[in-house]
Structure 1
Amino acid sequence: MWEWLTDNAWLFWLVAVIVLAAVEMLTLDFLFLMMSAAALLAFGLSWITDNFVIQVVAFAVTSVLLIFLVRPVALRRLNRSTPETVSNVARLVGLPCQVLDPVTARSGLVRLEGDTWSARSLTGESLPTGTDVYVHRVEGATVVVAPHPAPATEGRGAPRPSF
């Protein structure tokens, strides 16, 4: 087994590069990407030298250097360039909608981004049909609305119009 490995080290390192890159695609943490790059270096070394121990040492040293020197810089840069994105129901807070069926403290319907949602009034006041209101929070499948906009959440601009 050892003899086969030393004779075909290039294949071992090529498989290591592919497997580590595939694991990186699942984790997206740059850890396995650094190890994949180190395996790529060892793959190149396998064509220069037949000494498998040198290849393993180069892989280990390069992995450690990349993980502790390059990875933190790459993570900082990625986090700095990625905007805060609000998703799922949290993105609905602050959006305008229109009352379809009078909204009270207990029931009502609004049109929100082209969909009909059950709604309740934030203040308990009755909101008549046709009133323009804003989403303040989402509770399950019900939006809590009021005639004035919700306080802006960090990372969001002005509410978008509903279509």
Structure 2
Amino acid sequence: MDTFIADYAWIVWLVLILLFVTIEMMTLELTFLMIALGSLGGLVAGLLGAPWWLQLVIAALLALVLLLGIKPPLLRALKRGGDPTKSNVDALVGLGGSVVKSVEGAGGLVRLANGETWTARLSPTVPQHVIEPGERVVVIAIDGATAVVTPAERNAS
């Protein structure tokens, strides 16, 4: 049985490498790439004549070293070049606008500086009153599909 495993271990290593690389292409988190590189180490050890148990040890140790030593700094380097620009609802917080339909505690409509019209309600942190059409407001939060706003004068102070 040991000779059978030793003779055909390279096929198992190739299948594992292909499997791990395929999974890595779907996840893109570098974990399975490190495991695939560990498996490559096991394959190379097998091709150099190492017994099957030593191939497993080499593959496991190499994968562990790569996961703990190479992956974290590599992920930090990849994330460092990320785009710091806010997007989606994060970009709306702090954006100014004007009231289209009176905004009170229950709701209203505002047109934001980016041209979008949102349902809006007055923030609970300000005294509850009616903000009339044409008055300026600032978005302080997004709650579902509703912009939570404050009068622009109050937000400036």
**TM-based fold match above 0.5:** yes
Classify the secondary structure of the residue corresponding to 2:152. coil
Is the CA contact (8 Å cut-off) linking 2:96 and 2:152 kept in structure 1? no
Q: Report 1:59-74 matches (<5 A).
A: 59-74=59-74
Structure 2, unpaired ranges of 5+ = none
Q: Which of 144, 151, 159 is 2:148 aligned to?
A: 144
Range with bigger deviation, 39-48 or 136-145: 39-48
Classify the secondary structure of the residue corresponding to 1:35. helix
Partner of 1:34: 34
Is the CA contact (8 Å cut-off) linking 1:104 and 1:121 kept in structure 2? yes
How far apart in 2 are the matches of 1:64 and 1:10? 21
Range with bigger deviation, 64-73 or 25-34: 25-34
Q: Which of 138, 142, 148 is 1:134 aligned to?
A: 138
Quick one: higher RCO (CA 8 Å, sep 6+), 1 or 2?
1
Compute the displacement of 1:58 (Å): 1.8
Equivalent position amino acid for 2:148 in 1: V
| Displacement over 6 Å in runs of 4+ | none
Equivalent position amino acid for 1:121 in 2: L
How far apart in 2 are the matches of 1:49 and 1:78? 37
TM-score by length of 2: 0.72
Compute the displacement of 1:37 (Å): 0.9
Is the CA contact (8 Å cut-off) linking 1:135 and 1:144 kept in structure 2? yes
Compute the displacement of 1:35 (Å): 1.3
TM-score by length of 1: 0.70
Identity of aligned residues (%): 35
Q: How many residues align?
A: 151
Classify the secondary structure of the residue corresponding to 2:62. helix
Range with bigger deviation, 12-21 or 125-134: 125-134
Classify the secondary structure of the residue corresponding to 1:8. helix
